[in-house]
Chain A
Amino acid sequence: MNLYEHEAKSIFAQFGITIPPGVRITKPEDLRKIHFGFPLTLKCQVLSGGRGKAGGIKFAPNLKEGEEIARTLLDMTIGGSRTESILVEPKVSIARELYLSVTLDRTRGCPIFIGSAEGGVEIESSGKVVTVPIPYPFQPYVARDLAQRLGLTGSLAVKVAALACKLYKAFETLDLDLAEINPLVVTTGEDVLALDGKIIVNDDALGRQEQFKGWQSKHLGDLTERESRSRLMGLNLVELPGDIGILCNGAGLTMATMDMVKKFGGNPATFLDVGGGSDQEKTMFALEIVAENPQVKVILLNILGGITACDDVAEALVGFMKKNPEAKLVVRLRGNNQEVAEEMLSQSGLKLIPDLQTAVGEAIAKSKVPTCAAR
């Protein structure tokens, strides 16, 4: 779950990291109530990246222009994410910019600090990035090591190391996938503060992080309406530009089915993993949400049962066909209780295809039939 900048900053503050004073506004007129004095920085609050490049950060020299700018920013959509609000901050006098983040390193299998002695947009390509693996359990020497490797000395090294410890504490306590400060600013008064930040909360940890209870529905970003509903049902749906709705159990098999459809000349409209131990209610929901998509001409259901019982899937299918008699289905079903499932479905006139490649071929053929003629 991606957080807005203002939310990330309030988490930084919660863990003792200094942030600039700021006020969040949702109407241009709200600027009149702000008493920081001009010039002010106005920043779109969006869930997507690339905000600066897209023109989502502006400086306002005075109130009149500020309101004009606020109006424009509030109307912006960046990378599919609508502006939620504007964060207004006074301009900070910057002596130096750094970069600092904590994330998980897939290759090493542990958290890492990533730091750079230069903050800014193109961190990865700057060639000045320092990576420090964080052993378990965490000790503050790792943060001191990071500061030293960034070339910092004296009181600044101490301040940055202390801040890095707080950032790690937030990362661990709140189950974050990413806690990033960019830029981490050293002011002319030698204070270190988080001028901008990004936080991603781990989705699997949301059930144990009280602080984020109920946040998910407001942080779905650029998901389509059906993708959002599926996410809230605990299903992974990705909508694609084609016309074949693909539902499978298991992520790898769903991807493989999607790849085969594409390879043999079809166009997937959905990627939907109904999960391993999928129950009837979820299977029904999955079928319905794929059928709802007006792009979908044919539904390809591919279930290879390990945990999934084929008769449960068949029952959901029978129910779905009763409600949607016009839907075109191609079903590959193999696994536990397969014979029972075959019996149930043959009564509804649906023939099971045991082999994946044949099923894919049939789905593609059906997707090429002009829709009106088929009905």
Chain B
Amino acid sequence: MILVNKNTKVIVQGITGKMGASHTKRMLSYGTKIVGGVTPGKGGETVHGVPVYDTMRQALAASGATCSVIFVPPYTTLDAACEAVDAGVELAVVITEGIPPQDTAKLVAVARAKCVNIIGPNCPGVISPGETLIGILPGVIFKPGPVGMISRSGTLTYEIALVLSDAGHGQSTCVGVGGDPIKGMGYEELLSAFNEDPATDVIVLIGEIGGSAEEEAARHIKEHIRKPVVAYIAGQTAPPGKRMGHAGAIISGGKGTAESKMKAFTAVGVKVATTPGEVVEMVAAARAQSVGR
């Protein structure tokens, strides 16, 4: 698995909010080590037994956490995430949707300078099934196994994890990188991490229309990735010029089409599925082959 495991200590920023509190409960019941929460002005309270601090500096000093998961409203996310970076987390997972992209660009610049990993924003988070769940993914759908998943989508990740799990293909780690045009960790870093991870045999990449990240990922796979990769691109029949739900999902000026992305993957030997069902078939074939090797 990559990024997170059962020992990862996590702080929930925005823990006293409705979303923060309810997902803290769900993460705790999954077994995630939630060691603290932060809400300015609410220090000293507890939420589901978790101590609340006023600042990230206090929370980290008291708990030794290395990871933060962020549930604060969009216009305060830049502040909260920069606070996490400055306090010394190694990984910040930003669930919040609707952050103005210039805020994200500033956050990315600040995090890069301190070598902190950001996942998201506008993402479901990350799960290493059977170990830990950091975010809002429905834990029950995911099963432990050798498939690494990287995805720009939330519910589509659940859909594909569901059919994979039902067919006996569990997952090592699933990372939702988020649906925004500007984001933290991207395909390339995560592909490389899965490539190095002994618990991962096959990588599933779930992309969608908009931007050129999938084309860049294809080049990266050709040069650096030795494990089999199965790709799926959502929006194969999307009309041009229309934003399809995600801020980043738009074909503009003829660029960012599913066709271009699928071509780029096929050209470097990546199997490209056209339905979630086909992802399962291709993962099964890749696993059978890697056993044979």
Contacts and interface: CB of A to CB of B under 8 A. Distances in A.
B12 to A, nearest CB: 15
A110 B248 CA distance: 15
Interface in B109-127: 109-110, 124
A276 B178 CA distance: 13
Interface in B122-180: 124, 136-138, 151-159, 162, 179
Sort chain A's interface into a size bin: 35 or more
B216 A204 contact: no
Interface in A103-138: 104, 106-107, 109-111, 124, 135-136
A306 B138 CA distance: 5
A250 interface: yes
Contacts of A207: 75
Interface in B194-216: 206, 208-209, 211-213, 216
B106 interface: yes
Report which residue of B104, B136, B158 has the largest number of chain A beta carbons within 10 angstroms of its beta carbon. Answer: B158
B23 to A, nearest CB: 8
A275 to B, nearest CB: 8
Contacts of B253: 124
B19 A252 contact: no
A336 B276 contact: no
B193 interface: no
A11 interface: no
Report which residue of A252, A273, A276 has the largest number of chain B beta carbons within 10 angstroms of its beta carbon. Answer: A252
B261 interface: no
A276 B156 CA distance: 11
Given A136-B106, A273-B245, A336-B138, A357 B98 contact: no
A171 B276 CA distance: 40
Nearest to A227: B242
B234 A256 contact: yes
Contacts of A277: 19
Nearest to B118: A109
Contacts of B88: none
A107 B213 contact: yes
A204 B105 CA distance: 14
Given A263-B274, A276-B97, A104 B155 contact: no
A260 interface: yes
Nearest to A240: B239
A204 B182 contact: no
A255 B244 contact: yes
Contact of B276 (A136, A250, A356): A356
Given A204-B100, A205-B100, A256 B239 contact: no
B155 A248 contact: yes
B43 interface: no
Nearest to A242: B237
Contacts of A262: 236-237
Contacts of A271: 238, 242, 244-245
A129 to B, nearest CB: 14
B156 to A, nearest CB: 3
A306 B99 contact: no
B243 A236 contact: yes
Interface string A253-280: 1111011101100001001010011000
A252 B153 contact: yes
A251 B245 contact: yes
A255 B155 contact: no
Contacts of A256: 156, 159, 232, 234, 275-276
B235 interface: yes
A252 B206 contact: yes
Contacts of A306: 124, 136-138, 154-155, 158
The 10 closest A-B pairs by CB, nearest first: A252-B153, A251-B245, A250-B155, A252-B156, A273-B245, A255-B234, A205-B100, A136-B109, A253-B155, A251-B246
7 contacts: A106-B211, A109-B105, A136-B110, A208-B75, A251-B234, A252-B156, A252-B179
Given A109-B183, A236-B244, A255-B208, 5 more contacts: A171-B102, A258-B237, A259-B234, A304-B159, A305-B138
Interface of A: 104, 106-107, 109-111, 124, 135-136, 171-172, 175, 177, 202-205, 207-208, 236, 238, 240, 248-256, 258-260, 262-263, 268, 271, 273, 276-277, 304-307, 334-336, 356-357
